[in-house]
Structure 1
Amino acid sequence: MSRIWALAVNTFREAVRDRVLYSLLFFAIGVLALSLAIDDITIGDQAKVVRSVGQGAVDLFGSIIAMFLGISVIHKELERKTVYTVLSRPLTRATFVLGKYTGLLLTVFVEVAVLVVFYSIFMSIRSDPPGLTLFVSMGMLLMELALLTAWATLFSAYSAPTTAAAFTLAVFVIGHLADDIWLYGSQAEAPSLRMAAHTLYWALPNFELFSIRRAAVHQLAVPWDRVWPGLVYGLGYTTAVLAAAMAIFQRKDVK
């Protein structure tokens, strides 16, 4: 466990020195600040619109940061040859992957926490402080990002950053369209299309299972009957993807 944590801390330190990461973070904070100006241009329930835009910005930039960090986490070590030094120590490859993933996850969680703090400040300025449902919604977002980061780590274990980025983006898009894909498959007349759609639905994650944004936007009670199954699903799926990533890297020729 100490070796995993040492790798995680080192990965976190490397990640927070990346200027692109700061650019994304500052841009996200800027978008959150601009959401305050929506009051002047929206018609209807302005508070709900502002909450929706703000939470959407946190979701989007959190996902971008997770993908940006994850797609090159292992390939970068191979490219710089530092992986040889690390693996020459009494350290298994599985521990290496788990340590890198933990460091990425720590970075993503810190970045999202910063965005949530700024979002809460901006909403409080509007005399519309966030409630419990928002924070539970952000917790579900972190579960989603943990799974997305696991997928990015898996792709990084066997492919170049460009390919890993394409695959991770595909998982992200399909994961958010999973319910629509299932509906399309159910309505398709061709058996082959129906089978393909349903196979895609079951093979890739359904990120909508983590979304309780509607309840947060409308300031409804926390839908715990949706939260707990989502967390169990996310933990199980993330564990499986990480196990696959470790198995792939175990067989990878790094010489």
Structure 2
Amino acid sequence: MATKTIGRIWTIATNGFQEVIRDRIFYVIGFFALLLVVSLPLLREVAATTEDKIFMDLGLAAIGVLGVLVAIFVGTGLINKEIEKRTVLVLIPKPISRAELIIGKHLGLLGVLAVLVIAMTAIYLALLSFNGINYPLASLLISELYQFLELSLIVAVALMFGVFTSSILATLLTFGIYLMGHLSRDVQELGKLSENATIETITQGLYLILPDLSRLNLKNEAVYGLLPSSVKLLEHAVYAILYTILLLAIAILIFSRREF
């Protein structure tokens, strides 16, 4: 039984991966390479002494932004597209559970994002080496690993909204969660500074509900080779994985209650 379930999930993931590839999503890699190649000469003109650090920051930021855009715009349509095209009516009567469909779609898009992140990271490191810029390789690779964990979480958010709202609304809501996730820790601190019990309770509640994406943002530390301790890194990774599983569980619960 478990083998058949894994086989069905793998089939859905593979089909989802191929479907996204057919949408020419890998043009993102070409755009990323062009952006970095064009930006370095410009940085040397405007930042004569700090262009190396700025270029390293720019490369990591570009990988993050492009990855998030793909995760949100594609992720919100994974299930919604099946519903709008009515193909979900064909899939559900087959021996495929709704949980398998959600998990398979999530893994399929993660495969695409993994290829994107690996390709962009390889281009980024190659350009750093080609231009003689010294960089902390291990720190940068760890930073990209945590970037991938963040993308996994964002895809889960996109799927959760995509199963019960339109693609446009799901996209806006997912962007909102992404932005608030990076600000949730600051919002909590503002609540403490307000010295108002009600505001502090509200901000604390928002911090507990919203994903703390700052845990997975290691870009600034990575550039200088200053990462958190191994224990902290492990805690952040476990947090991201558990939060992603929770979001997928919510998406499955909502989707299982929908009537078609």
TM tier, smaller: over 0.9
Is 1:178 the counterpart of 2:184 in the alignment? yes
Structure-to-structure mapping, 1:195-234, within 5 angstroms = 195-220=201-226, 223-234=229-240
Give the whole-Å Cα distance in 2 for the aligned partners of 1:90 and 1:185. 50
Which residue in 1 is equivalent to 2:251?
A: 245
| TM-score normalised per structure 1 | 0.94
| TM-score normalised per structure 2 | 0.92
Is 1:139 the counterpart of 2:145 in the alignment? yes
Which residue in 2 is equivalent to 1:31?
A: 35
Shift of 1:223: 3.8
Farther-moved stretch of structure 1 (208-217 vs 69-78): 208-217
Is 1:44 the counterpart of 2:49 in the alignment? yes
Farther-moved stretch of structure 1 (26-35 vs 159-168): 26-35
Check conservation: 2:76, 2:158, Cα contact below 8 A.
yes
Which residue in 2 is equivalent to 1:64?
A: 69
Give the whole-Å Cα distance in 1 for the aligned partners of 2:157 and 2:227. 31
Shift of 1:129: 5.6
Structure 1, unmatched stretches of 5+, are: none
Shift of 1:113: 1.2
Matched AA of 1:61: L
Which residue in 2 is equivalent to 1:192?
A: 198
Check conservation: 2:13, 2:104, Cα contact below 8 A.
yes
Give the whole-Å Cα distance in 2 for the aligned partners of 1:221 and 1:151. 27
Give the whole-Å Cα distance in 2 for the aligned partners of 1:122 and 1:223. 29
Q: Which whole-Å deviations, capped at 9, do the CAs of 1:4-37 have from their partners, x for residues lacking one?
A: 0000000011101114x34444323322223322
Give the whole-Å Cα distance in 1 for the aligned partners of 2:233 and 2:178. 20
Q: Percent of aligned positions with the same letter in both sequences?
A: 28
Which residue in 1 is equivalent to 2:122?
A: 117
Is 1:98 the counterpart of 2:97 in the alignment? no
Give the whole-Å Cα distance in 2 for the aligned partners of 1:182 and 1:95. 36
Check conservation: 1:209, 1:226, Cα contact below 8 A.
no
Check conservation: 2:20, 2:109, Cα contact below 8 A.
yes
Query: CA RMSD for the aligned pairs?
Result: 1.6
> Which of 3, 7, 15 is the matching residue for 1:2?
7
Check conservation: 2:26, 2:116, Cα contact below 8 A.
no
Which residue in 2 is equivalent to 1:164?
A: 170
Change over 3 Å in CA distance of 1:174–1:251 after alignment to 2: same
Structure 2, unmatched stretches of 5+, are: 1-5
Matched AA of 1:153: L
Aligned residues: 253
Change over 3 Å in CA distance of 1:152–1:188 after alignment to 2: same
Check conservation: 2:102, 2:252, Cα contact below 8 A.
yes
Check conservation: 2:218, 2:227, Cα contact below 8 A.
no
Q: Which whole-Å deviations, capped at 9, do the CAs of 1:58-85 have from their partners, x for residues lacking one?
A: 1111111111111111010011111111
Shift of 1:232: 0.7
